[in-house]
Structure 1
Amino acid sequence: MVASESFAEFLREQLAPLGGITMRRMFGKTGVFCDGVMFAVVANNTLYLRVDDENKETFKEAEAYPPLSYEKGGDTIDLSFWRIPERLFDEPEEFVVWARVALAAAHRVAAIRERTAPKRKARRKAD
């Protein structure tokens, strides 16, 4: 389920210090982007932040798991987005710190994908 308008507005206000925050519906959820990089997902008005090997321990220590997941072919597929601790909604400065950590992870993931993506040949225009 996508983010409600009130929750989306709350997130835009809280995350404004990061830069240009936009949101887009994706696969029945809401992707949260900062300057074009997706660093969070909202499902059922629950915020999940991007994790990778560098920030995963922080999220585990805060008991901010299980990760966002979905069912496919009878299996549960865990995504690299973990639930933000509820206490952060009452601590705006720390909320932004966690969001910055997730944004950094999103940039690392994007850089890896960019390096490993197959190169596309440029199409030549017909004369």
Structure 2
Amino acid sequence: MGISDSYKEYVIDQLGEVGSVTIKNMFGAAGIYFDGLIFGLIADDTLYFKVDDSNRSDYERTGMEPFKPFSDRSMIMPYYEVPVDILEDRELIADWASKALLASRNSKRKSGKGRLLCEE
């Protein structure tokens, strides 16, 4: 398990149309932030974006799975794997990132906090 520097650089480059995106290492993964708000994760050189009811179907339609951080896989987080063909298209990835940012903002408003929320 790990994240290569080259994958992080590739993700930042692909998200160039979104604006100034930063990546911060955390708990064996990395968080992707825009304007101080986390909207994505990288784990094992795989990109995940924040989901809620507004964008979850986009991921499910393409057969993507939620991020499951623990080996027993009993806990899932509200982040889904981004399809490779979306990641490779700068315009599409910017659109999906915008939807993930909206999901993150909605989650922050509902919780009243800026922390990661987990689902059982």
> TM-score range, shorter-chain basis?
0.7 to 0.9
**Greater RCO (CA < 8 Å, at least 6 residues apart):** 2
Code of the aligned partner of 1:86: V
| Mapped contact 1:2–1:42 kept (Cα < 8 A) | no
Code of the aligned partner of 1:7: Y
Query: Are 2:47 and 1:70 equivalent residues in the alignment?
Result: no
- Match of 1:76, SS state, is coil
Structure 1, residues 36-73: CA drift from partner, whole Å, max 9, x if none?
A: 110000000000110011111111112121x111338x
**Larger strand proportion of the pair:** 1
Between the aligned partners of 1:2 and 1:111, the Cα distance in structure 2 is 32
Corresponding position of 1:108: 106
**Larger helix proportion of the pair:** 1
Corresponding position of 1:54: 54
Q: CA deviation at 1:3?
A: 2.6
RMSD: 1.9
Deviation above 2 Å: which 4+ runs of structure 1? none
Query: Are 2:92 and 1:97 equivalent residues in the alignment?
Result: no
- Map 1:1-127 → 2, pairs under 5 A: 1-65=1-65, 67-71=66-70, 76-114=74-112
TM-score (norm 2): 0.85
Corresponding position of 2:117: none
Code of the aligned partner of 1:58: D
> Structure 1 stretches of 5 or more lacking a match?
116-127
> Structure 2 stretches of 5 or more lacking a match?
114-120
Corresponding position of 1:124: none
Equivalent residue pairs, number? 114
Q: CA deviation at 1:110?
A: 1.2
| Mapped contact 1:64–1:85 kept (Cα < 8 A) | yes
Between the aligned partners of 1:19 and 1:91, the Cα distance in structure 2 is 16
TM-score (norm 1): 0.81
Code of the aligned partner of 1:87: D
Range with greater deviation from structure 2 (92-101 or 30-39)? 92-101
Code of the aligned partner of 1:36: G
| Mapped contact 1:19–1:35 kept (Cα < 8 A) | no
